[in-house]
Amino acid sequence: MTFARISGTGGYLPERVVTNAELESSVDTTDEWIRERTGIKRRHIAADNETTSDMAVEAAKRAIDSAGIDTEDIDLIIVATTTPDKVFPSTACIVQRRLGLKTIPAFDVHAACSGFIYALDVATRFVTTGGARNALIIGSETYSRILDWSDRSTCVLFGDGAGAVVLRASNDAGVLSTHIHSDGEFEELLHVPAGISSGYENVQQEAAFIKMKGNEVFRKAVSTLGAIARETLSGNSIRQEDIAWLVPHQANLRIITAAAKKLGLPMDRVIVTVDEHANTSSASIPLALDVAVRDGRIKKGDVLLFEAFGAGFTLSLIHISEPTRLC
């Protein structure tokens, strides 16, 4: 039996850092309020000439190097993003060109904050059925471009960045199960009310910004993440104590803490990086994973859960055994 196994991780954060103190001068907020409500201390913001694909390429190079393979060994690229460089072609195709790769499949997945897990689910199916041997999965976002920087309910929450993994075909267990869901009924709780075929006037007026009903999003996120976590545990006959680490979407600390409580996991078994880079949407899980692999917390043989909740609403969870980079 062929498994799909994480063999390398990489991350990239833009150089510019915006602290909570800096935001105090532009919106009605304080460092204390932001920390208490979200756990966020700072966020990284892409330079004016820095794109989603720029960050994706940097994270990809680091993941490929971590996996110990040549770039030419990559035979599938999937980029999870809601902030692509262009309407078309896909950001994945732009990344493909910049990595010097030709002919291999390359496409984007658009599932907001759940995007990385959705992309990992798709890539796992390619790998386990023989469609790819070394898949490159990237989450990359420039959310700073779709923020209203005068709206304290959203501008304090998000940042820019990219994370990537290499998913390799292996005889050893890797991704053991994936669970992805969506519910379009809640579309307007978290969305950008503008696009190409609808609300294009907002794009033309440079007013295509994130709108969010924060309290409702919080309640829905916590309840649904708890349900999908129970589905995963029962479906795979695993217990809470079998899980070495929960690697959640880094939305804010309150949601992360509530999700861990639903799973019965103490916070010392949860990877938290939201304080350092805020909510980077589809990039947040691979960024957190990369940090924890490189600092030695995640080790070969650990059982992990990835979980995410995003606009749509989308929700997803992946159960992984022995994720490794593992040089």
Q: What is the pLDDT of residues 126-178, one digit of tens each?
A: 999 999 999 999 999 999 999 999 999 999 999 999 999 999 999 998 999 99
Q: Can you give the pTM of this predicted structure?
A: 0.96
With a CB cutoff of 8 Å and minimum separation 6, the contacts of 229 are: 259, 262, 263, 305, 307, 317
Q: Note the CATH number of domain 3-172.
A: 3.40.47.10
For this structure, is 279 an active site residue? yes
Res 301: pLDDT: 82
- On the CB side of 244, CA atoms within 13 Å amount to 16
CA distances from 262 to 27, 240, 251, 292 (A): 34, 10, 16, 22
Is 134 considered catalytic here? no
- CATH architecture assignment, domain 176-321: 3-Layer(aba) Sandwich (3.40)
Task: Domain ranges for the chain, please list them.
Answer: 3-172, 176-321
What does the pLDDT read at residue 327? Answer: 38
Strand partners, 18: 43
Query: Which of 113, 155, 179, 277 is labelled catalytic?
Result: 113
Sign of CA dihedral 194, 195, 197, 200: positive
* C-alpha distance from residue 17 to each of 21, 23, 42, 46, 175 (Å): 11, 11, 7, 9, 34
pLDDT tens digit sequence for 67-85? 999 999 999 999 999 999 9
pLDDT of residue 322: 56
Q: Give me the pLDDT at residue 230, please.
A: 77
Longest dimension (CA), the chain: 57
Which regions in the chain score pLDDT beneath 50?
324-327
Best CA proximity match to 244, nearest among 272, 275, 266: 266
- Geometric angle at alpha carbon 59, from 304 and 301, rounded to 5°: 25
User: Choosing from 179, 249, 277, 319, which is the catalytic residue?
Assistant: 249
Q: Identical fold at 3-172 and 176-321?
A: yes
